[in-house]
Chain A
Amino acid sequence: MKVRVVSPWYPDYASPHSGIFVAQQVTALKQAGYDISVEVPQIFPAPPGIIPAGVTSAMRSLAAQSIGAMFPTNGQTTYIPTPVPTRGGPLGRARAMACSMGILREFRDDSADLVHAHLGLPTAWATSETSPQLPLVVTEHWSNLEAVLADPAAAAAYTDVLRKADAFITVSGHLREQIVNALGDWALERIVTVPNIVDLREIPFRDRGRFEFGSWIYVGGLMEHKGVQTLLRVFSDYTSRHDPTARLTLVGEGPLRPWIEMFSASRGLADSVSLAGPVAHSNLGGLLDEADVMVHLSPFETFGIASLEGIGAGMPVISLDNPGAREAWGDIQHLCGVMLKVDSQPHEIADTVAALREAPQRMRLAQARRVLEERYAPDVIARRLSEVYEAVLT
């Protein structure tokens, strides 16, 4: 079966970690025997207003001369440069993507058995405009979805996509609830939940025996909404009251890097906090292996892959009770970690880590890893997607 995957989130030469979860799904589907091509609409930010006709006609001229010059290709992946006016909102982005995807379609045939678009808006909407004849499967992952659906025009377009889609997937039940709350109960029966892949094959499990909690790790964007500032405050409190020798490694990149450096220096933690920067998924296992505990204090997650990888590596995870974590591993937290109330104070979180350190070891992390493999392994998710595809085509 020939499947075209369309996703604005996908690794490229400048952002090799972007959309890694979509890339993992593509790999799993290929291994399951699907013939997959990928199209990646890439946002080229433009000033507000209308894109000048000169720009779109130049795009068309270049594509006519050389399709690869206009639309960079890497194997079966094609990137679609898309001029997107700022302040256009999700619907503006969708229209811009439809325009660029339309130019590509003028020069490349539209053959596929079905198209699988990631994100209802902008991608699925743009895909349904440019390839209306193809069966459409949509996967929604966007943690910002609630804000998107608060806009009436975007909600109307989203409704249109949901009605047109032959299958509509969310990666968590929480996202499905958000859609139903915004659009109405009719949406419930149109949505199925298929989670993201958690690929633990490159992450070795280490039986830690005793948990010393001397080496903390965080994996994710260095951004405010990920709770990174709270994490630094918790760590500062923990080192001053419980264990001055503890270390914290932050894996990832983001705008809070200077703040973290400044905060660490001001609290005398410059030698205890290390910023590892972005790390390829294949190298993550080594860093996880060196850590004792993963601390993730994001108040909201759609799915929370990093925490699941931490559990898979055999370390307890301290997390806030956000919807993604609750759904992904809430039922097995007694085996692998602690979920704290979202409004927990830094000293309470630090005390929880300390209490866990002092308490008798009750974790069953090997068992937790087995549960995660049964739920989220690449072949498990590929099989579930395969069922969706087969249902669409029969």
Chain B
Amino acid sequence: MRQAALISQTLRAHHCKSYLMTSDVEAVVLTSDPQTFDSLHDDGSTTIINVSPLPELLPTTTLTRGRWFRSILSWARSGSNFGRWLERTVKRLVWRLRYLDRFTLLLRPLRRTPVAVVDEASLRGSAMYQELMALHSKEPFIRVVVFDLFDLPVAMAFATDHNTEVIVR
């Protein structure tokens, strides 16, 4: 008996970890950033699988940028005074640029990539769906727990095809 936890974007990793730590059911975490879940390997009841995010739904640049930002922040906060100064300076700079940023609001619609219409076929062809299906054929999932709402369309398609419960947490 096991469950799948879907979390392409790891910004809610804390929620996912908290949920899994209090759950009695064995879990497979499908994520595009397995390193975030390193600490979960310790108890042996969780498997982490690396899955590419849905290209139609998720601009990967955002994830990459987020990962870089978190690495720099983690280094800056590790205790050095220089890191602390750097973080403070960057924050002040960003704060001032926010006001300037209003002018770029006018340009933003022009450069935004339109979101593709997600059809059923592309959902079922996605890496997340394929991985879910492969894992499910070996040992069926009793439920799919969604921690990133961008994974919900895939979870719903999977649930429809395999009669599995979906919950958002």
Contacts and interface: CB of A to CB of B under 8 A. Distances in A.
B168 A62 contact: yes
Nearest to A224: B88
A14 B88 contact: no
Given A44-B12, A46-B149, A70-B168, A55 B78 contact: no
Interface string A83-116: 1001000000000000000000000000000000
A258 B73 CA distance: 12
B166 interface: yes
Contacts of B115: 49-50, 52-53
Interface stretch (B14-22, B29-37, B128-136): B14-22
A270 to B, nearest CB: 12
Nearest to B59: A47
Interface in B113-169: 113, 115, 117-118, 123, 148-150, 152-153, 155-156, 165-169
Contacts, number: 96
B155 to A, nearest CB: 8
A27 interface: no
A83 B18 contact: no
A13 B168 CA distance: 13
Interface stretch (A259-267, A273-281, A302-310, A373-381): A259-267
Which range holds the interface residue count of chain A? 35 or more
A44 B77 contact: no
Nearest to B58: A47
Contact of A256 (B12, B19, B77): B77
Which range holds the interface residue count of chain B? 35 or more
B41 interface: no
Interface in A28-85: 44-50, 52-55, 57-59, 61-62, 68-72, 81, 83
B86 interface: no
Contacts of A48: 62
B19 A13 contact: yes
B46 interface: no
B79 A62 contact: no
A272 interface: no
B72 interface: no
Contact of A13 (B22, B62, B156): B22
Contacts of A224: 84, 88
A239 interface: no
Contact of B79 (A44, A55, A59, A261): A261
Contact of A258 (B18, B59, B78, B118): B78
B3 interface: no
A81 B18 contact: no
Contacts of A262: 78-80
Contacts of B153: 54-55, 57-58
A324 B148 CA distance: 37
Give the 3 A-B residue pairs with the shortest CB-CB distance, closest first. Answer: A262-B79, A54-B118, A14-B18
Interface of B: 9, 11-12, 14-15, 18-19, 22, 56-59, 62, 73, 77-80, 84, 88, 112-113, 115, 117-118, 123, 148-150, 152-153, 155-156, 165-169
21 contacts: A13-B15, A15-B14, A44-B12, A48-B62, A49-B112, A52-B56, A52-B57, A52-B150, A55-B152, A58-B156, A59-B149, A61-B156, A62-B156, A69-B166, A71-B168, A81-B168, A224-B88, A256-B77, A258-B79, A259-B78, A261-B79
